[in-house]
A = this chain, B = another copy of it.
Amino acid sequence: MTQVTVKHMWKEYGGHVVLENVNLHVGDHEFVTIVGASGCGKTTFLRMLLGIEAPSRGEFLIDGRPLPGEPGPDRGIVFQRYSLFPHLTVLQNLLLGLELKDAPLTGRLFGAARRRALDKARTLLAAIGLEAAANKHPAQLSGGMQQRLSIAQSVIREPKILLLDEPFGALDPGITADMHELIIKLWNAHKMTIFMVTHDLKESFALGTRLLVFDKVRIDPQAPEAFGATITYNIPLKGQRSAS
């Protein structure tokens, strides 16, 4: 059960208002897609959910409690790039989350615990179709393979919330269909709440159970930074939940 609530939230950088008066309630196991013009604050919104940015005013609640001020294993993230660990193989990249969980001191598992973790990682690896590349390093993978791994990596600790910031923006169009399938499969398997920013409206309709549109409602042509964006549309969709 994960509820995300935002109440009268504002975000400013110095005098520059990025987001103003954002209100939102998202229930359990939703797939929220977010669209909006470039620079309107979508990434900023995700960064606040992640805990690496604090709202200037207002409240940001998860299950009624204030958001922790730093990232944690309950909220996973997939960036457009760079979030794989180049020194670890594909399998090790997946394993890492499990090792960090159960080995606070050494960060490594041994014996039976390791075998259990390996089983879990291998299952997930099969789900994303990367078994053959298990022992390669990220730099040896194509962009699509890297992003598949990145998604798998961020769900292995079964976060309550998964954040995706234009995860397919850097991929060849042909590959995105596979990725959509994968993300829906994982979303259904792990029953988490997903927030995904995208530039592709079609994608947002196809995947989401709820579409958020960020836009400015007030514009001062003399001072474009005086007013921020807010959620102008909050549209429930049918999404792919039925597919589960």
Contacts and interface: CB of A to CB of B under 8 A. Distances in A.
Contacts of A38: 142
A172 B174 contact: no
Contacts of A219: none
Interface in A131-156: 142
Interface in A171-185: 172-174
A170 B170 CA distance: 6
A36 B165 CA distance: 31
Q: What's the number of copies of this chain in the assembled complex?
A: 2
A174 B38 CA distance: 12
A44 to B, nearest CB: 18
Contacts of A173: 173, 199-200
Interface of A is mostly: loop
Contacts of A170: 170
A169 B169 contact: no
Of the candidates A38, A169, A172, A174, the one having the most CB atoms from chain B within 10 angstroms of its own CB is: A172
A169 to B, nearest CB: 6
Contacts of A172: 169, 199-200
A149 to B, nearest CB: 18
Interface in A159-209: 169-170, 172-174, 199-200
Contacts of A199: 172-174
Interface string A199-226: 1100000000000000000000000000
Contacts of A174: 199-200
Nearest to A168: B173
Nearest to A176: B173
Nearest to A38: B142
A172 B176 CA distance: 12
Nearest to A166: B172
A171 to B, nearest CB: 9
Interface of A: 38, 142, 169-170, 172-174, 199-200
Given A38-B142, A173-B200, A174-B199, 6 more contacts: A169-B172, A170-B170, A172-B199, A173-B173, A173-B199, A174-B200
10 contacts: A38-B142, A169-B172, A170-B170, A172-B199, A172-B200, A173-B173, A173-B199, A173-B200, A174-B199, A174-B200
